[in-house]
Amino acid sequence: MSTILRWLDDRTGWSGPLQKIFRYPVPAHAHHNPLFSMGSLLLVLFLVQTLTGTLLAFYYDPSPEGAYGSVDYMQFTLPFGWLVRGVHHWAASAMVVIVVLHLLRTYLYGAYKKPRELTWLVGVVLLLITVTFGFTGYLLPWDQKGYWATQVGTEIAGSVPVIGGFLRGLLRGGDEMGIATLTRFYAVHMLLLPGAFMVLVLAHLALMRHHGLAPALIKRGDGPAKTVPFYPTHLAIEAGIALAVIAGLILAASQLPAPLDLRADPTDSAFVPRPDWYFLFYFQLLTYFPGNLEAIGTVAIPLFFFGSLVLLPFVDSGAERRPWRRPITSGVLLLYAAAVIVLTILGGA
C-alpha cells in the first residue's frame, strides 16, 4: 500500500498540499464551539444533496407529462425512494437553517471585518444560491404546490419595474408556464446552481484558509492561542456532528415523508398555494403591498435586505468585533431577525 502511495506521490506531489489542508492548526476557541462547525456541516449537506440529487436524476422525467409520474414512481415504487427523496427534501430545509446559523455566527463575531470582507461577500452569494436551489427545486415534481409556487414566483419577477416582463419570460422560457419552464428550472437546479456553488465554496474555503479563522473575541492568557490539528482532532468533532445530522435527516424522511401534492392542474381555482417555510416571511410580506405599491414588497425590500448584507463589512468597518460593543449592528440584526420570525409566523397562520 505504502509503495503505491509513494508511487502516486512521486507523480502527483499530492502529499504536500494534503498535509497543508489536513494538518492546519484550528484555534481552540473554534474547536470547542459547535457554531464554528456550521460551515463544514453545510459542505456535508451539499454533498448529501449532490448524492441524493444525482440519484433522483436517474429516474426524473423533465416534462409536464412525465415529471409527476416519475416522482410518484420514485417515492412509492422504487426501493428506498422515500429515503432518497425524503433526505433530499429535509436536507434542503436543513441547509437553510444551517446557512442562517453560519451567517449569524459570522455576524455576531464580527468575522466579516477586514481582511475577511470578500469571504463574507462570497458567503452572501452562497446564501442566495441556497435559497434559489429551494425555489427551482420545488417546481420539479410538477405537483400543485410546485406549479402554483412557481406561477407566483415568476409573477413576482414580472413585477420588477421596466424589465419585469422580460424577466418573467426569461424564467418561464415563454409567456406561459410549460415544458420550457420545467426544463430550464431543471437545468438551473441540477447543473448551473451546483456548478456555481462548488466554485464559490472553493473560493470561500480558500479565502478562509488564507486569512485563518477570526481570533477569539476575548483573548485568554498571554501566550500564543492554543490550537488542535484539523485532522484528526477537529474533523472527528465535525464528522460526529455530520453523522448526527444525517441520522436526523433519515429519521425525518421516515417519519415525515417528502410531500407530493396532486398533479399540477392549471384550471384549479380552489388550491391555496403556500411556499416552503423558509419563504413564508416573503410570502406574508407581499400581502402588505397592494396595487401600485407591489414592487416595494417584491423588489425594493429584498434588495435592501441583501444590499445591507453586501454593504455590511464596508459600513461597519471599525476594528471592534465584540457584539455588545457594536450596538447598532447588533440591533439591526435583532430587528431583521424579529421581522423574519414575525412574518414567518403570520405567513404560516
Partner 1 sequence: MADEPDHSDEAPTVGRREVLGTIGFWSATLTAGALLGGPSARFALGNSLEQDPEHWVPIGPPDKLTRDDFTRIVYEFRTKDAWREVAKEGLIYARAGTGGEVIALSAVCTHLGCNVRWRREQSRFACPCHAGFYDEQGNVISGPPPRPLRRLETRLKDGVIEVHI
The residues that touch partner 1, with contacts defined as CB under 8 A, are: 48, 51-52, 55, 58-59, 61, 66, 69-70, 72-74, 77-81, 83-84, 87, 228-229, 231-237, 239-240, 242-243, 246-247, 250
Integer angstrom CA distances of residue 299 from 31, 55, 161, 302, 343: 40, 36, 9, 6, 17
Is 73 or 271 the residue whose CB approaches partner 1 more closely? 73
260: left (phi over 0), alpha (psi -120 to 50) or beta: beta
DSSP state for residue 190 in the 8-state scheme: I
10 Å CB burial of residue 214 (0-12, 13-18, 19+) is: buried
Question: Residue 83: phi, psi to the nearest 5?
Answer: -75, -45
Q: Please tell me whether residue 88 adopts helix, strand or coil conformation.
A: helix
State the minimum distance, in angstroms, from the CB of residue 166 to partner 1: 35
Is 213 or 228 the residue whose CB approaches partner 1 more closely? 228
Radius of gyration of the chain (CA): 22
Is 90 or 281 the residue whose CB approaches partner 1 more closely? 90
State the minimum distance, in angstroms, from the CB of residue 43 to partner 1: 13
Is 69 or 165 the residue whose CB approaches partner 1 more closely? 69
Is 89 or 326 the residue whose CB approaches partner 1 more closely? 89
CA distance 248 to 254: 10
Residue 20 corresponds to which cell in the numbers above? 497543508
State the minimum distance, in angstroms, from the CB of residue 51 to partner 1: 6
State the minimum distance, in angstroms, from the CB of residue 50 to partner 1: 11
State the minimum distance, in angstroms, from the CB of residue 187 to partner 1: 21
DSSP state for residue 86 in the 8-state scheme: H
State the minimum distance, in angstroms, from the CB of residue 189 to partner 1: 19
Integer angstrom CA distances of residue 257 from 271, 297, 323, 348: 21, 33, 40, 20
Is 236 or 341 the residue whose CB approaches partner 1 more closely? 236
